[in-house]
Structure 1
Amino acid sequence: MTSRRTLDVRVERFPYAKPFRITGHVFTETAVVVAEIAEGPHRGRGEAAGAYYLNDDIETMTAAIERVRGAIETGADRAGLQQLLPPCGGRNALDCALWELEAQQRGRPVWQLADLPEPRPLRTTITIGADEPRVMADAATALADATTLKLKLTGEAALDASRVAAVRAARPDCWIGVDANQGYAAEALPALFATLERHGVALLEQPLARGDEAGLDGVKRAIPVAADESALSLAEIDGLVGRFDMVNIKLDKCGGLTEGIAIARRARALGLGVMVGNMMGSSLSMAPSFLLGQLCSVVDLDGPTFLARDREPGVCYRDGNIHCPAEIWGFPRSCA
Structure 2
Amino acid sequence: MTRLKLGVSVEKLRLAEPFRIAGRTFDSANAIVVTLDDGAFVGRGEATGVYYLGDDLTNMLAQLGQAHDAIEAGPSRAELRSILPAGGARNAVDAAMWELESKRTGRPVWALAGLEQPRPLRTTFTVGADDPEKMAKAAAAYTQARSIKVKLTGQLDLDIARVGAIRTARPDVWIGVDANQGFTIGDLDALANAMVDAGVSLIEQPLARGREADLDGYRSPIPLAADESALTLGDVAGLQGRFDVFNIKLDKCGGLTEALMIAAAARDAGLGVMVGCMVCSSLGAAPGFVAGQLCDLVDLDGPLFLARDRSPGVIYRDGTVWCDETVWGARAPATA
| TM-score (ref. length: structure 2) | 0.97
Cα shift readout 1:190-244 (whole Å, capped 9, x = no counterpart): 0000000000100000000001112222333221000000011001101111000
Task: Give the alignment of 1:21-40 within 5 angstroms.
Answer: 21-40=20-39
Residue 332 of structure 1 and its aligned partner are, at CA, apart by 4.6
Q: Distance in 1 between matches of 2:332 and 2:110?
A: 15
Q: Distance in 1 between matches of 2:171 and 2:226?
A: 26
Query: What are the within-5 Å matches in structure 2 for residues 41-52 of structure 1?
Result: 41-52=40-51
Shift of 1:115: 0.8
3-state SS of 1:7 partner: strand
1:55-134 map, 5 Å? 55-134=54-133
Cα deviation, residue 308, structure 1? 0.4
CA distance in 2, matches of 1:39, 1:225: 44
SS at match of 1:145: coil
Range with greater deviation from structure 2 (216-225 or 261-270):
216-225
Which SS does the other structure have where 1:286 is aligned?
A: helix
Q: Distance in 2 between matches of 1:180 and 1:31?
A: 24
Partner of 2:282: 283
Task: Check conservation: 1:7, 1:35, Cα contact below 8 A.
Answer: yes
Task: Look up the match of 1:260.
Answer: 259
The residue type paired with residue 98 of structure 1 is M
315-324 or 326-335: bigger deviation: 326-335
Q: CA deviation at 1:76?
A: 1.5
Superposed CA RMSD in Å reads: 1.2
Structure 2 gap segments, 5+ residues each: none
Q: Are 1:180 and 2:165 an aligned pair? A: no
Partner of 2:159: 160
Q: Separation in 2 of the partners of 1:35 and 1:117?
A: 27
Q: Does the 8 Å contact 1:257/1:288 carry over to 2?
A: yes
Distance 1:125 1:55 in 2: 27
Counterparts in 2 of 1:156-235, with a 5 A limit? 156-235=155-234
Q: Secondary structure at the match of 2:293?
A: helix
Q: Hey, which bits of structure 1, 4+ residues long, moved more than 6 A?
A: none
Partner amino acid for 1:15? R
- CA drift of 1:117 comes to 2.5
Q: What residue ranges of structure 1 are gaps of 5+ in the alignment?
A: none
1:255-289 deviation per Cα after TM superposition (whole angstroms, max 9, x unaligned) = 00000000001001111000000001000011000
% identical equivalent positions: 56
Residue in 2 that maps onto 1:330: 329
* C-alpha deviation, 1:142, in angstroms: 0.7
Structure 1, 239-248 or 67-76: larger mean CA deviation: 67-76
Question: Secondary structure at 1:237's aligned position in 2?
Answer: helix
Q: Do the aligned partners of 1:190 and 1:220 also contact (CA within 8 Å) in 2?
A: no
Residue 272 (structure 2) pairs with residue 241 (structure 1): no
Letter in 2 for 1:127: T
Kept in 2, the 8 Å contact 1:250–1:276? The answer is yes
- 1:136 equivalent in structure 2: 135
- Return the offset for 1:333: 7.9
Q: Deviations over 1:157-187 (max 9, x none)?
A: 0000000100000000000000000000110
How much has 1:4 moved relative to structure 2? 4.6
Does the C-alpha gap of structure 1 residues 333 and 118 become closer, same or farther in structure 2, counting only changes over 3 Å?
A: closer
Matches within 5 A, 1:296-307: 296-307=295-306
CA distance in 1, matches of 2:36, 2:198: 48
Q: Provide the C-alpha distance between the structure 2 equivalents of 1:275 and 1:220, rounded to a whole number of angstroms.
A: 20
Give the whole-Å Cα distance in 2 for the aligned partners of 1:113 and 1:25: 38
